[in-house]
Structure 1
Amino acid sequence: MLLPVVLLGVWLSSASAAKLGVVQTEGGKVEGRNHKMGIFRSVDVFKGIPFADVPGKWEKPKPHPGWSGILQATTYGDRCLQVTLLQTKTQGSEDCLYLNVFVPQGNKLSTNLPVMVYLFGGSFLLGASNGVELLGNTLYDGKQLAERGNVIIVTVNYRVGTMGFLSTGDERLPGNYGLWDQHAAISWIRRNIEAFGGNPFNITIFGQSAGAASVSFQMLSPYSKGLFRRAITQSGVALSPWALQKNPMALTKKIARKVGCSRTNVDEMVTCLKMSDPVGLTMAGKIDVMLILGKGVVMDLLELAPVIDGDFIPAHPSKLFHNAAQFDYMAGVNSMDGHIFAGVDVPNINMKNATTVKQVKGLLAGLTKEKGNAAIESAYSVYTSHWGQAPEQDVVKKTVAEIETDFLFLVPTQTALQLHASNSSGTNTYSYLFNMKTRIPLLPPWVEAEHFEDLQYLFGEPFSMSLLYFPRHRDLSKYMIAYWTNFARTGDPGTGENRVPVPWPKFTKSHRPYLTINHKINKYSVSYDLRSEYVTYWSTTYSRLPSIKSRGEEK
């Protein structure tokens, strides 16, 4: 009996998964680390591969000069210079243009795998390719998603905050440096991923929040022609009201004042800014919380963002969807994406005390100030039509969260889906709503899926940190990984190597199905015309109201 057991042990130890070892890239050789994921399965992980040189201040990224010897790609590169979460200081470096590659392996070396490139979110202000760390595990660790979906995952850094998005709105400081970094990373992946076992002609870019808006901008840019094949946006598009800075010069002058570069002559101001300390410039771009005390809404704080530069983004995003027609597209939102913002604008929605009609109208006033009083009343009547005479407080509070979700995320995403479907020629469009109940403790019982809660399931955290999750969370994680990686493989989330609970019908010009994503996906999870009453209100009724600027009422 002993001999077969010994032989089995020897066989199992020798029958480990294949591994890449040293890989030749255009800049030089890299060697990562192989992580066992089970019998015959492992993931090769390469961290901190440079995809461009250290960028000059407010310059486009340049090719990396390369290195001699073998680069040990075992630690993440520095995040790009940015404020910390509490905004008390900065972290990161100007030397930050690095990416990470996760390659699943079986008993033979992987070849021709689909490639998925992730762009992180963080309000264009902060974030990194390795995300937040919890118990030694980083949020954007691609091992589970790569191994379970049998795809290559690449996560990339890009410049954020003042160093990534400051602009004068003209050729002096054109802006969009963070978008150019993303473009440089995708281009590097296109040129080099075959050496890692990837298919350079089957690249999907995906992202969440500001990362999703970034994916949207990459789709719309003329520079992306033929560069990738598919795109997924989660909770954000280029049409989101927070995703575009419409008055970059005013913001640049404000930042110049903060760092002592205020000048009447714009050329002199820009010269001074270029000589200023990057750390001071980064701190000057932090969110100015005083702006919303007593007036305005949290959206007004998100000032550093892409601009229409006449180059990477040649026109308003709504006019550029002909460029996106070449890509298969999947997009959706979380059912309570706006809750975190609504909780800042109307704090008592998360408390016991009552939320009043005045507060609801105050929120609408902040969101619709470019249209004036007529918009407040018309939006209020649309959102309160189901309230009845004496609405429960939970209904009122949930309405506040829905207003912000619709305005900031859901309606812009539905508009982007409609524009993609109208322009597409032979490419697919898919719509979803993620509404898994929140796992955040102490939130009111009416809160569903909070902003960013989809990411833990997509990146397989219920498997890598199994003690923190229940079986239903692993079910959801399995479904999301299957749909996302099938889409990357075939352009159809229902078709591929991974089984899914139900087919996901295409979104077209005349037919608008969407999949509701939670742990109980079944044939009843496909519905039609997501929140169409509210989509129609914001995209048609509201948009036709005259702007107060055009009536000369704006000071």
Structure 2
Amino acid sequence: MLLVLLFGVCLNSASAAKLGVVQTEGGQVEGRSHRMGLFRSLDVFKGVPFADVPGKWEKPKPHPGWSGILKADKYRDRCLQVTLLQTKTQGSNDCLYLNIFVPQGRKLSTNLPVMVYLFGGAFLLGASNDVAILGDSLYDGKELADRGDIIVVTVNYRVGTMGFLSTGDARLPGNYGLWDQHAGISWVRRNIAAFGGNPDNITIFGQSAGAVSASFQMLSPYSKGLFRRVISQCGVALSPWALQKNPMSLTKKIARKVGCWRSDEDEMLACLKVSDPVGLTMAGKIDVLLILGKGVVMDLLELVPVIDGDFIPDEPSRLFHNAAQFDYMAGVNSMDGHMFAGVDVPSINKKNDNTTVEDVRGLLAGLTKEKGTAAVGSAYSVYSSHWGSAPEPAVVKKTVADIETDFLFLVPTQIALQLHANNARGARTYSYLFNMKTRIPGFPRWVEAEHAEDLQYLFGKPFATPLVYFPRHRDLSGYMIAYWTNFARTGDPSTGESRVPVPWPAFTKHHQPYLTINHKITKSSISYDLRSEYVSYWTKTYSSLPSVRRGEEEEVCSSSSLGVLTEYLP
């Protein structure tokens, strides 16, 4: 009994350190400590304000501060947005909060690398604590922080109508959600030292719309010296769904829906500014029924960033000189486009339905309409060249998913990597392809890594909820956490405190290696020139085709095109 008591006392006295109350610029905050293992714990601060309640369509303002000790022990509201089914709204205007996950050993952590996460959700929905399934939020940073020995921060930002409506001029510049992200990252730089973080070693990372956001943050002139590294997972600023080219037409459409249509634009804007935020948010929802059989999902993503002459001063492809000092890692999931292709061409997921040549041509027509009918024939010949005279139905279906993956994600990411490598001044560039087999039941056998499936592994879900995963999933999760946190620590995913299965070579101006990420990473996982035949088609052949001019109303949804992205490639 004496031995047991002594052992208990020793354990207690040698337990992990705790931060307790932390002094920030706005006041004192106190989080909660979570035990993660022997001599290891995690201080978690939820709902720390980084800006004041934002005014409607205004940039975020500094928080006025508070007296006493703020109990930072629960997540705050997400920003006002439609629900997943888009039948109502949820969230609040008082939403500019962040969450901090700090790993501790026997002594208080100091000078740790910091990773700031920007969530995805098509710029329409999402939150820093989104999607709680089988336990904690998908973006809960405990496992990533503990296993990588880094600080994780997750940030809220405005989305939908309240975050991205714009007139394309100074009256309603837009990009309010991007300004929120910038304010959150700036707060982290000013305050993270008090939590044990290194303000000179911040990495921003995100997935989908969050990846596009991280990309825009990297390209903005406002980010100079603010952070050090960037990771884009399944999206970049060059993605054809990432930029609204005709914001005023979209604003007029929203105005009609809420009863603010006026022939005088200033009167229309005055009406919008006094309109109910809930009604405005509902007016920005996606109506998927309008697209079925008539176009492509990409056309529905309207409330997105704009070139405002300020935060985004020019076409993204012209801004990579601003990214010269940032180390950059970017990649895609092998089936990123599958869920979107399943809406555009539903037959690809139906066992008893064949996907026809007309289906494939129809998809290409929807994606390439800015180039007219000439693009359909040339793209079809490239993507059907490996079919043979009588292709298997599964081959045709997978081709549809590949087309959408290439166009929406893979090709823009490869261009962004090339532009970064071309402009880098001492910074490094890394490319990857995540292709772990999907865990989503009911999909055809040929489906690999679906959009967003990488996140469960990066955030350590196979460790946090082990009963719903297998050992191979924990292997993959460990590899991703090691590569990502090494990159955050040193700028090289192969070098740091975590062991990795194989070295990951840098992507350069003249050599384009990439790492294939799954549960079996070996030396053969390093390949070169990812889908180069298709990248070459979109960047050279397709971009050289003349564009078709259309009227303003038709261009409401038009976005950045692959056809203009290669202007600054060698």
TM over 0.5: yes
- Map of 2:527 onto structure 1: 527
Partner deviation per Cα, 1:411-432 (whole Å, 9 max, x = no partner):
0000000000000011000000
Structure 1 residue 4: deviation in Å?
3.0
- Map of 2:513 onto structure 1: 513
Structure 1 residue 551: deviation in Å?
12
Partner deviation per Cα, 1:110-154 (whole Å, 9 max, x = no partner):
000000000000000000000101133110000000000000000
Q: d(CA) in 1 for partners of 2:130 and 2:522?
A: 32
- Map of 2:233 onto structure 1: 234
- 1:498 is aligned with what amino acid? S
Q: d(CA) in 1 for partners of 2:277 and 2:51?
A: 19
Partner deviation per Cα, 1:64-123 (whole Å, 9 max, x = no partner):
000000000000111000000000000000000000000000000000000000000000
- Map of 2:443 onto structure 1: 443
Q: d(CA) in 2 for partners of 1:111 and 1:432?
A: 31
Asked if 1:193 is matched to 2:192, the reply is yes
- Map of 2:164 onto structure 1: 165
Structure 1 residue 3: deviation in Å?
3.4
Asked if 1:104 is matched to 2:103, the reply is yes
Asked if 1:493 is matched to 2:493, the reply is yes
- 1:499 is aligned with what amino acid? R
Structure 1 residue 351: deviation in Å?
0.5
Q: d(CA) in 2 for partners of 1:82 and 1:441?
A: 29
Q: d(CA) in 2 for partners of 1:535 and 1:108?
A: 50
Q: d(CA) in 1 for partners of 2:427 and 2:134?
A: 41
- Map of 2:373 onto structure 1: 373
- Map of 1:257 onto structure 2: 256
Q: d(CA) in 2 for partners of 1:291 and 1:311?
A: 34
Q: d(CA) in 2 for partners of 1:503 and 1:392?
A: 38
- Map of 1:348 onto structure 2: 347
- Map of 2:142 onto structure 1: 143
Structure 1 residue 292: deviation in Å?
1.1
Q: Helix, strand or coil: the match of 1:418?
A: helix
Q: Helix, strand or coil: the match of 2:230?
A: strand
- Equivalent positions of 1:66-145 (< 5 A) are 66-145=65-144
Structure 1 residue 550: deviation in Å?
8.4
- Map of 1:390 onto structure 2: 390
**Is contact 2:368–2:376 with CA below 8 Å preserved after alignment?**
yes
Q: Helix, strand or coil: the match of 2:376?
A: helix
Q: d(CA) in 1 for partners of 2:230 and 2:19?
A: 28
Partner deviation per Cα, 1:335-366 (whole Å, 9 max, x = no partner):
00000000000001000210000000000000
Aligned pair count?
553
- Map of 1:474 onto structure 2: 474
- Equivalent positions of 1:302-341 (< 5 A) are 302-341=301-340
- 1:202 is aligned with what amino acid? N
Q: d(CA) in 1 for partners of 2:289 and 2:172?
A: 27
Asked if 1:538 is matched to 2:538, the reply is yes
- Map of 1:221 onto structure 2: 220
Q: Helix, strand or coil: the match of 1:330?
A: strand
Partner deviation per Cα, 1:518-555 (whole Å, 9 max, x = no partner):
00001100000000000011111101100011899x89
Partner deviation per Cα, 1:259-279 (whole Å, 9 max, x = no partner):
000000110000000000000
Q: d(CA) in 2 for partners of 1:289 and 1:127?
A: 18
Asked if 1:209 is matched to 2:208, the reply is yes
**Is contact 2:135–2:465 with CA below 8 Å preserved after alignment?**
no
Structure 1 residue 293: deviation in Å?
3.0
* Structure 2: unaligned runs, 5 residues or longer: 556-570
Normalising by structure 2, what TM-score?
Answer: 0.96
Asked if 1:11 is matched to 2:10, the reply is yes
Q: Helix, strand or coil: the match of 1:49?
A: strand
Deviates more, 1:284-293 or 1:202-211: 284-293
- Map of 1:416 onto structure 2: 416
Q: d(CA) in 1 for partners of 2:238 and 2:337?
A: 16
Partner deviation per Cα, 1:267-315 (whole Å, 9 max, x = no partner):
0000000000000000000002243133110000111100000000000
Q: Helix, strand or coil: the match of 2:94?
A: coil
- 1:516 is aligned with what amino acid? T
**Is contact 2:292–2:344 with CA below 8 Å preserved after alignment?**
no
Q: d(CA) in 2 for partners of 1:298 and 1:549?
A: 21
Structure 1 residue 498: deviation in Å?
0.1
Partner deviation per Cα, 1:501-534 (whole Å, 9 max, x = no partner):
0000000010000000000001100000000000
- Map of 1:429 onto structure 2: 429
Q: Helix, strand or coil: the match of 1:240?
A: coil
Structure 1 residue 5: deviation in Å?
3.4
Structure 1 residue 157: deviation in Å?
0.1
Q: d(CA) in 2 for partners of 1:408 and 1:487?
A: 26
Deviates more, 1:294-303 or 1:436-445: 294-303
Coordinate RMSD, CA, aligned: 1.2
Q: d(CA) in 1 for partners of 2:314 and 2:283?
A: 28
Q: d(CA) in 1 for partners of 2:455 and 2:145?
A: 14
Task: Note closer, same or farther for the CA distance 1:361–1:124 as it changes in structure 2 (3 Å cut).
Answer: same
Normalising by structure 1, what TM-score?
Answer: 0.99
- 1:209 is aligned with what amino acid? S
Asked if 1:460 is matched to 2:465, the reply is no
Q: Helix, strand or coil: the match of 2:250?
A: helix
- Map of 1:179 onto structure 2: 178
Partner deviation per Cα, 1:383-405 (whole Å, 9 max, x = no partner):
01000000001100000000000
Runs of 4+ in 1 over 4 A off after TM superposition: none
Deviates more, 1:6-15 or 1:149-158: 6-15
Q: Helix, strand or coil: the match of 1:190?
A: helix
Q: d(CA) in 1 for partners of 2:134 and 2:278?
A: 29
Q: d(CA) in 1 for partners of 2:227 and 2:406?
A: 29
**Is contact 2:365–2:376 with CA below 8 Å preserved after alignment?**
yes
Structure number with greater CO (CA < 8 Å, separation at least 6) is: 2
Structure 1 residue 490: deviation in Å?
0.1
- Map of 2:402 onto structure 1: 402
Q: d(CA) in 1 for partners of 2:162 and 2:3?
A: 63
Q: d(CA) in 2 for partners of 1:95 and 1:468?
A: 36
Partner deviation per Cα, 1:198-231 (whole Å, 9 max, x = no partner):
0000000000000000000000000000100000
* Structure 1: unaligned runs, 5 residues or longer: none
> Percent of counterpart pairs with the same letter?
81
- 2:424 is aligned with what amino acid? S
Q: d(CA) in 2 for partners of 1:346 and 1:235?
A: 21
